[in-house]
C-alpha cells in the first residue's frame, strides 16, 4: 500500500476520458521543478552503485531506455565512483545517495518497497533491496512519466520533447509480499511484463499444491504399503489421500522432501498438501486428531508441523481447502508453515467482506482465526468460471473490497487462479487490474479500469465500459449468486436476460464502429465481444439463422486468436464447434 505521497504533476501528457491527464503540456519550468530533458538535452545522469546487483542494473537500463523513448534523449548511466554531479537520478543505495540530505528508512521498505523523492537537483529512486529499486523505476515511469504496460504486447509510451517533474515524496510498500495470477500473459515470474506490473510470485515454489502423491506415489507404495493411504469406509483406498498419523508416512515424506530440496536449494516454498478431491483418512489415530480439533485440519496441520520442523530454512505450506478449510481449535502453525487458504465455495456477486451469505460469513470467521494461528497466509482466490472460460463473468467490482479485507488480516500473499488458456473474458483487463490492486488495494479501481480500457481499446473503450457497468448493475439488481462453476444459463433471467443482450449488442456495435479505423483496436474489440456471442449460443438467443451467423463469427475470431479451450478440462474449440454446428443444423432440418 502507498505511504506518503506528495507531488507536483509531471509536465507530460497521458490522457484519460474525463479530460484530466496524468500530466500537462510543457511550459516554463518553475523554481520547484527539475528539468530532466529540454531542447534535446539533459543535465542528468543515472547513478547506480559500482557493484550494483542484477535488478538494480536492470532498473538503470530500463529507466534509460524508456526515457529515451519518451524524450529521444539518452541519459548516461554511471557508477557511484565518478564525481557527484549537480543533477542526477540516483538508483538504490550508493555513495552518491549517502552524500545527499535524504534520510531513507530502508528497513521499513522491506525487499520490495521504495522511495521516490526529489532532493535539491537530484531525483532519488531507492528500494529497500534490489527488487525495490526496479519496482521504484517502473512506478516512476508509470506515475510520473505516463508510461503504461497493459500486456506483453500492448503499451503506451508518451512522446515529449520536454520532461519536467515537480517535487516528489512518494513511499510505497506492497500490501501483499507475494502476488501472482495465472492469466497466461503475465503468469511467468521474471518476465518483463510481470516485472513491470510488479507481480513476483510463481517460480519460487518447489511443490505448488496437491502434492501428497508427488512425495508418496500410490503406484509405488500402495501395493506393498496400503496402510500409507487413507482409510475410507473401513478400507484403505489408493486414490484418495495419505494416512497422516502413520509414522512411516511422516518419515518417508521427510526423506523425499530432503531429496527434492537438495536438488533445488534456492526455492523457499514447498507445499505438502492434499490431493484435489475428498477422502481424508478415517483411521482411529487420524480421526482422534480431527475430533480433538473439530476439523480434518487437525491431523493435517500436525502432520505438516512435524515435517516443517525438519526444514527450518524452508516454508512448508499446505492447503486449507474444501474439507480442510476450517481452522483447528488449539493447534498453531509453526513459524515456517504457510497456509494456502482457498475461496472455492464463495459467491462472487458480492465481496466476501460484506456478503451476508452463509459461506461468506464462515469465510470471514475462518480467516480471522487463521490469522491468529498462522504467520504466513497465502489466499488462493478464483477469477475463473471453470466450465465456461469464454463467458460473461461480472466480478470486477468485488476485487478491490476483497483484497482490502485480506490486507486487513495480515495476509502475506494472494494467488488469483485465472484462465490459464489463451483468451477468456477480459483476461487482459482482469490481469492488469489484479496486479495493480494486489500492490495497493486502496487505489481507485475505477480509474485504473478506465485507464486500461482507454489505452487498450482506444475510443472503443468507452462503450465497453458502459457494457461492463450495465452488466454488473444487472447482476446486483438480480441478487443472484455468481459461482465459479456456473454459466450463462444460471443468469438467463438476470444479467443475461434477452432485453439486456440486445443492449449489450448495441454497445459492442458502437465499439466496433469506433475501432474500425485501427486494425489493432478492432481485433481487440472483437475478442472482447466473444463472451457475449458465446452466451447467446448457450442461451439459444435468436433464431437458428442468426445463431449460425453468430457461430461463424465466434469461431473465426477464436481461430484468429488461437483460442484452444472453452472450459478448463476437455471442451476444445474443435469439439465445441462441432457441438454447436451439429445442434444448429439439426434445428434447421426440422
Q: Are residues 45 and 156 in the same domain?
A: yes
For β-strands 205-207 and 269-271, DSSP reports them as parallel
Return the axis-axis angle of helices 427-439 and 445-457, rounded to nearest 10°: 140
Q: Are residues 168 and 38 in the same domain?
A: yes
Q: Helix, strand, or coil here: 41?
A: strand
C-alpha cell at 267: 526455492
- 284/281 Cα distance (integer angstroms): 9
Q: Which of 424, 510, 425 is nearest to 459 (CA)?
A: 510
- 163/85 Cα distance (integer angstroms): 19
Per the domain annotation, does 182 fall within a domain? no
* C-alpha distance from residue 280 to each of 32, 277, 321 (Å): 66, 9, 12
C-alpha cell at 201: 510470485
Q: Are residues 14 and 159 in the same domain?
A: yes
Cβ partners under 8 Å of residue 120, min gap 6 = 100, 101
pLDDT of residue 378: 98
545 and 584 Cβ atoms separated by less than 8 Å: no
Q: Are residues 161 and 18 in the same domain?
A: yes
Q: Domain ends where: 173, 191, 216?
A: 173
DSSP 328: P
pLDDT of residue 590: 80
- 14/146 Cα distance (integer angstroms): 5
DSSP 324: G
Q: Are residues 154 and 279 in the same domain?
A: no
Instruction: Provide the CATH number for the domain around residue 112.
Output: 3.30.379.10
Q: Are residues 32 and 146 in the same domain?
A: yes
Per the domain annotation, does 193 fall within a domain? no
> Which contacts (CB < 8 Å, 24+ apart) does range 250-259 have?
250/303, 250/306, 250/307, 252/215, 252/216, 252/221, 252/228, 253/215, 253/216, 253/307, 254/307, 254/310, 256/215, 256/216, 257/215, 257/307, 257/310, 257/311, 258/310
Cβ partners under 8 Å of residue 103, min gap 6 = none
Q: How many CB atoms lie within 10 A of CB 466?
A: 16
Per the domain annotation, does 476 fall within a domain? yes
388 and 566 Cβ atoms separated by less than 8 Å: yes
pLDDT of residue 14: 33
Q: Domain ends where: 333, 366, 395?
A: 333
| DSSP per residue, 426-487 | THHHHHHHHHHHHH-TTS-HHHHHHHHHHHHHGGGHHHHHHHHHHHHHHHHHHT----TT--
Q: Are residues 13 and 138 in the same domain?
A: yes
Alpha helices in 338-415 (DSSP H): 358-373, 396-407
Q: Are residues 24 and 142 in the same domain?
A: yes
Q: Are residues 74 and 138 in the same domain?
A: yes
Q: How many structural domains are present in the chain?
A: 3
Which residues face 179 on adjacent strands? 414
List the helix and strand counts (H, then E) for the chain: 19, 20
pLDDT of residue 428: 98
Return the axis-axis angle of helices 427-439 and 396-407, rounded to nearest 10°: 20
Q: Are residues 11 and 155 in the same domain?
A: yes
Cβ partners under 8 Å of residue 334, min gap 6 = 305, 308, 309
Per the domain annotation, does 361 fall within a domain? no
Per the domain annotation, does 402 fall within a domain? no
Q: Are residues 49 and 143 in the same domain?
A: yes
> Which contacts (CB < 8 Å, 24+ apart) does range 362-369 have?
364/405, 366/320, 366/325, 366/326, 366/327, 366/341, 367/341, 367/405, 367/406, 367/409, 367/411, 368/409, 369/327
Query: In a structure prediction context, what are the per-residue pLDDT tens digits for the chain, which is 590 residues long?
Result: 445 444 333 333 333 333 323 333 334 445 579 999 999 999 999 999 999 999 999 999 999 999 999 999 999 999 999 999 999 999 999 999 999 998 999 999 999 999 999 999 999 999 999 999 999 999 999 999 999 999 999 999 999 999 999 999 999 999 999 999 999 999 988 899 999 999 998 889 999 999 999 999 999 999 999 999 999 999 999 999 999 999 999 999 999 999 999 999 999 999 999 999 999 999 999 999 999 999 999 999 999 999 999 999 999 999 999 999 999 999 999 999 999 999 999 999 999 999 999 999 999 999 999 999 999 999 999 999 999 999 999 999 999 999 999 999 999 999 999 999 998 999 999 999 999 999 999 999 999 999 999 999 999 999 999 999 999 999 999 999 999 999 999 999 999 999 999 999 999 999 999 999 999 999 999 999 999 999 999 999 999 999 999 999 999 999 999 999 999 999 999 999 999 999 999 998 88
Q: Which domain holds residue 304?
A: 204-315+323-333
Q: Domain ends where: 173, 193, 218?
A: 173
Q: Are residues 211 and 167 in the same domain?
A: no
Amino acid at each position: 500500500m502507498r505511504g506518503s505521497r506528495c507531488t507536483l504533476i509531471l509536465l507530460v501528457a497521458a490522457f484519460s476520458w474525463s479530460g484530466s491527464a496524468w500530466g500537462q503540456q510543457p511550459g516554463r519550468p518553475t523554481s520547484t521543478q527539475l528539468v530532466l530533458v529540454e531542447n534535446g538535452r539533459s543535465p542528468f545522469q543515472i547513478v547506480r552503485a559500482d557493484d550494483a546487483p542484477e535488478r538494480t542494473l536492470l532498473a538503470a537500463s530500463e529507466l534509460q531506455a524508456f526515457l529515451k523513448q519518451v524524450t529521444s534523449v539518452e541519459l548516461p548511466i554511471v557508477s557511484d565512483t565518478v564525481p557527484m554531479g549537480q543533477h542526477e537520478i540516483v538508483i538504490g543505495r550508493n555513495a552518491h545517495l549517502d552524500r545527499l540530505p535524504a534520510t531513507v528508512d530502508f528497513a521499513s521498505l522491506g525487499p520490495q518497497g521504495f522511495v521516490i523523492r526529489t532532493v535539491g537537483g537530484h531525483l532519488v529512486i531507492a528500494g529497500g533491496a534490489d527488487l525495490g529499486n526496479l519496482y521504484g523505476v517502473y512506478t516512476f515511469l508509470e506515475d510520473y512519466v505516463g508510461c503504461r504496460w497493459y500486456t506483453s504486447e500492448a503499451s503506451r509510451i508518451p512522446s515529449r520533447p520536454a520532461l519536467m517533474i515537480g517535487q516528489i515524496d512518494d513511499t510505497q510498500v506492497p500490501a501483499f509480499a507475494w502476488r501472482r495470477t495465472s492469466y497466461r500473459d503475465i503468469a511467468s515470474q521474471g518476465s518483463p511484463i510481470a516485472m513491470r506490473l510488479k507481480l513476483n510470485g510463481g517460480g519460487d515454489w518447489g511443490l505448488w499444491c496437491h502434492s501428497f502423491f508427488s512425495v508418496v506415489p500410490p503406484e509405488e507404495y500402495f501395493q506393498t504399503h496400503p496402510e500409507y493411504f487413507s482409510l475410507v469406509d473401513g478400507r484403505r483406498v489408493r486414490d484418495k489421500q495419505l494416512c497422516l498419523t502413520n509414522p512411516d508416512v511422516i518419515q518417508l515424506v521427510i526423506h523425499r522432501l530432503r531429496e527434492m530440496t537438495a536438488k533445488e536449494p534456492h526455492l523457499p516454498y514447498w507445499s505438502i498438501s492434499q490431493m484435489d478431491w475428498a477422502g481424508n483418512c478415517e483411521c482411529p489415530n487420524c480421526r482422534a486428531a480431527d475430533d480433538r480439533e473439530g476439523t480434518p485440519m487437525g491431523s493435517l496441520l500436525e502432520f505438516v508441523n512435524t515435517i516443517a520442523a525438519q526444514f527450518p530454512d524452508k516454508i512448508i505450506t499446505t492447503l486449507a481447502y474444501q474439507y480442510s478449510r476450517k481452522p483447528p481449535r488449539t493447534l498453531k502453525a509453526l513459524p515456517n508453515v504457510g497456509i494456502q487458504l482457498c475461496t472455492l465455495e464463495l459467491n462472487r456477486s458480492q465481496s466476501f467482506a460484506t456478503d451476508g451469505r452463509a459461506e461468506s460469513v464462515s469465510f470471514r470467521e475462518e480467516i480471522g482465526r487463521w490469522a491468529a494461528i498462522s504467520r504466513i497466509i497465502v489466499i488462493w482466490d478464483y477469477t475463473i468460471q471453470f466450465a465456461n472460460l469464454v463467458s460473461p463473468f461480472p466480478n470486477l467490482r468485488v476485487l478491490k473490497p476483497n483484497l482490502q479485507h485480506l490486507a486487513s488480516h495480515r495476509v502475506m500473499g494472494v494467488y488469483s487462479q485465472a484462465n490459464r488458456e489463451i483468451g477468456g473474458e477480459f483476461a487482459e483487463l482482469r490481469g492488469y487490474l489484479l496486479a495493480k490492486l494486489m500492490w495497493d488495494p486502496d487505489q481507485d479501481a475505477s480509474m485504473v479500469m478506465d485507464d486500461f480500457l482507454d489505452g487498450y481499446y482506444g475510443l472503443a473503450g468507452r462503450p465497453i465500459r458502459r457494457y461492463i457497468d450495465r452488466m454488473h448493475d444487472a447482476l446486483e439488481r438480480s441478487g443472484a449468486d455468481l459461482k465459479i462453476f456456473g454459466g450463462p444459463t444460471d443468469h438467463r433471467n438476470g444479467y443475461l436476460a434477452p432485453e439486456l443482450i440486445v443492449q449489450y449488442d448495441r454497445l459492442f456495435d458502437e465499439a466496433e464502429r469506433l475501432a474500425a479505423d485501427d486494425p489493432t483496436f478492432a481485433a481487440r474489440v472483437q475478442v472482447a465481444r466473444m463472451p457475449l456471442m458465446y452466451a447467446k449460443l448457450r442461451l439459444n438467443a435468436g433464431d437458428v439463422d442468426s445463431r449460425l451467423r453468430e457461430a461463424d463469427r465466434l469461431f473465426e475470431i477464436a481461430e484468429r486468436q488461437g483460442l484452444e479451450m472453452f472450459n478448463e478440462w476437455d471442451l476444445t474449440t474443435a469439439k465445441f464447434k462441432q457441438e454447436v454446428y451439429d445442434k444448429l443444423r439439426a434445428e434447421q432440418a426440422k
